[in-house]
Amino acid sequence: MTDLLSSLNERQREAVTTTEGPLLIIAGAGSGKTRVITVRIAYLISERHVAPHNILAVTFTNKAAQEMRDRVNKLLGGQKLAGAPLVSTFHSLCVRMLRRDIEKLEEGYTRSFTIYDQDDSVRVVKACIKDLGYDDQRLGARQTQGAISHAKNSGLDADAYAARVEAHDERRAAVARVFKLYEERLVNNNALDFDDLLIKAVRLLRKREEVRAHYNERFRYILVDEYQDT
């Protein structure tokens, strides 16, 4: 234990050893926040005897997740573990949850859903624009996809977006129709775009008590790096 904590200053040590209850750490760039999270995971496992399986760490990029895994492994230095903590990005965590339970959303999706990246989304939007007979010079696919994505992230579905379009705003009315068709095509293709991954995972947790219970039970300790960006 002294080994684990010896690489930390006093404030960091406090952050690592305060393991129970919610804890928010605010500190400047490069001040050692990620190091704290990494040591905290190792500390929970080796000093508080938390099962690795009960720990979830969330980061923003796959690279950060991989780095964190490597650093935790190094800190635990060859200790034989019963399982590993789950270190994941928000998106891959959502994919996991949806691969397990998306059918419980009852929106027509199955567990073998496809994921559309941004380029795929733009392609589908472009086809929708064309099939609705709009001029894709005037209604750009990339821009339209951006508007749809922004709406989805603000919690608007296609109908809610359409309801907000003002009568004289032809451009937004066109976007609304593209949005609606785009969403229909995604469901028909059993496909989720990047925004859906987050939206549908949250919806699943809200909707299904037993899914919530499952993750409450499993993830006793949740650590989020770069929380300010969530």
Ligand X SMILES: Nc1ncnc2c1ncn2[C@@H]1O[C@H](COP(=O)(O)OP(=O)(O)OP(=O)(O)O)[C@@H](O)[C@H]1O
Element (H, E) at 162: helix 158-164
- Contact pick of 21, 30, 133, 155 for ligand X (by CB under 6 A): 30
Smallest Cα–Cα separation from 189: which of 80, 102, 110, 101?
110
Taking CB under 6 A as the binding criterion, the range among 7-15, 160-168, 174-182, 208-216 that sits at the site for ligand X is 7-15
Site string for Mg ion, 12-41 (x = CB under 5 A): ---------------------xx-------
Per CB under 6 A, which region of 5-13, 40-48, 52-60, 110-118 contacts ligand X? 5-13
How many whole angstroms separate alpha carbon 84 and alpha carbon 72?
A: 10
Let me know: does 54 contact 19? Beta carbons within 8 Å: no
Enclosing H/E stretch for 149: helix 141-153
35 binds, among Mg ion, ligand X, none (CB under 5 to 8 A by kind): ligand X
Q: Which of 31, 73, 89, 92 binds ligand X (CB under 6 A)?
A: 31
Q: Which of these ranges, 1-9, 103-111, 127-135, 160-168, lies near ligand X under the rule CB under 6 A? A: 1-9
CA distance linking residue 83 with residue 105, whole number of Å: 29
Q: Name the residue with the smallest CB distance to ligand X.
A: 32
Cα–Cα dist 31/83, whole Å: 30
Q: State the Rg of the chain over Cα.
A: 22
Q: Does residue number 62 form part of the binding site for ligand X (CB under 6 A)?
A: no
End-to-end CA distance of the chain: 32
33 binds ligand X (CB under 6 A): yes
| Interface contacts to ligand X, rule CB under 6 A | 7-9, 12, 27, 29-35
| Interface contacts to Mg ion, rule CB under 5 A | 33-34
